[in-house]
Amino acid sequence: MESMNYYLALLLVVFLLKKILFHRKQNLPPGPLALPVLGHLHLIRKPLPLALQTLLSQYGPILSLKFGSRSVLVVSSPSAVEECLTKNDIIFANRPQSMAGDHFTYNYSAFVWAPYGDFWRILRRLTVVEVFCSKSLQKTSAIREDEVGMLLCRLFRVSAGGKRKVDLKFLFSLLTCNVMMRMTVGKRCVEVETEDSELEKQLFREFKETFFPSLSLNICDFIPVLRMIGFKGIEKSMIKMNNMRDKFLQNLLDEVKLKRINSKTSDEEEKRSLVETLLSLQELEPEFYTDEVIKSIMVMMFIAGAETSAVTLEWVMSLLLDNPDALQRVKAEIDHHVGHGQLLNDLDLVKLPYLRCVINETLRLYPAGPLMLPHLSSESCTVGEFEIPRDTILLVNVWAMHRDPKVWEDPNEFKPERFGTFRGTTWLQVYSFWCREESMSRCWHGHAHGFIGIGCAYSVL
């Protein structure tokens, strides 16, 4: 028995020495001491961006962590992000597979989470041409203006009898979901006849629970044995939820198919929803544009464009109420360039530079995605002076970069005017790095729709 304990202790010492020596030999980025099995999971607290920012302040802008069995690279400097997503763009073009991805993404068949390759290129081209081009933005502007107008009428109706409290968080979320739903399938997520009722909130809550599954990595993705034993029934719940959501999506898809068969105007391009366009492509290439691919793109549209815009609208309103001088300046700009009491449209936004600065500053302080969607290295590479192994998860801490005092003067202060003169390389590196080629373009592909929707909605309100 003593001999067995001796050999086990010796084996443990050899294992630890090997890990330490291998770590040094690899020249990994710095990081805190990891625990067996857990790695650094014990250091992670919610909200995650703030927890990572604390670690980054101790170990520098390039940080190496272990989440269970997975290696994680966290970066929070513009130069490191640019190196990851430009110099090593193809290496970091993939996403890590996860339990949620296995069940909610239809075999990773949408542009935002598809593996890099020919299939991804086709989906990217489709997304750029059919969804986020200027023609698409113009075609769907009537939907945005219509929904914002209905929200405005609702607020007028509610306030007709005097001052009343309104749940702007709910209304903004409903607004953006209705816009995305009409753009995607041509109908609202909650119809007008249920307005101002408990039924409306119940239907909308059920809609969001069905349509917005969390695609985040969870504990089972970092400690695989937990998935094998069915930890807390997480995977079982995902399977049940996905069956409900798939049925809902398939019903929407079948409705659009039936509409195309029965409607004489279904071929008019300017009236097509996104799903109608995809069904037209399905007729030409049925082996590629399957129902599963279309449903995956539908989910992508909602996750990327609905809640992110609603959260930003809420923060814009909150920040301006806390900063009355900025609020008065926005109102004066709109009155001057659009006219007092006039409803504006998308084309008016180019005449409202200060409003755009307000939106930019809001996105800087409270980015809808404080951590960019994770990437995965397909092979080993170098970032800065450090070696990054294959199959390392990359996390970009946007929150930390947007509040970096080395880049931003008074980074925690709301100063929209900083964007009136912000020019040059730093702007590209810090704020708009997600808009570049290849893997960078996939990170924030809903930005154009969201920015215009936010600007139009807030200006009218």
Residue 51 maps to a domain: no
Is 133 inside a domain boundary?
yes
> Can you tell me whether residue 408 is helix, strand or coil?
coil
Q: What is the pLDDT of residues 421-442, one digit of tens each?
A: 654 444 444 444 343 333 334 4
Q: CA–CA separation, 83 vs 79, rounded Å?
A: 6
235: CATH: 1.10.630.10
Q: For the segment 154-188, what is each residue's pLDDT rounded down to a tens digit? A: 888 888 777 888 888 889 988 998 998 999 998 88
Residue 31 lies in a domain: no
Supply the range of the domain harboring residue 191.
Answer: 118-460
CA 359 to chain centre: 17
Tell me the per-residue pLDDT of 291-342, one tens digit each, with 9 for 90 and over.
Answer: 999 999 888 888 777 788 899 999 999 999 999 999 999 999 999 998 887 7
Look at residue 85 and tell me if it is in a domain: no
Q: Is residue 193 very low, low, confident or very high in pLDDT (cuts 50, 70, 90)? A: low
Instruction: With respect to residue 79, please indicate whether it lies within any of the assigned structural domains.
Output: no
Is residue 265 situated within a structural domain?
yes
Task: Decide if 405 is inside a domain.
Answer: yes
Round to whole Å and give the CA distance between 313 and 451. Answer: 10
pLDDT tens for each residue of 342-373: 778 778 888 999 999 999 999 999 998 899 89
Predicted model pTM: 0.84
In a domain, 440, yes or no: yes
Cβ within 8 Å of residue 8, ≥6 positions away: none
Q: Cβ neighbours of residue 91 under 8 Å, at least 6 residues apart? A: 377, 378, 379, 381
How many structural domains compose the chain?
1
Structure tokens given for 85: 């997503």
Alpha-carbon distance of 119 to 125, in angstroms, equals: 10
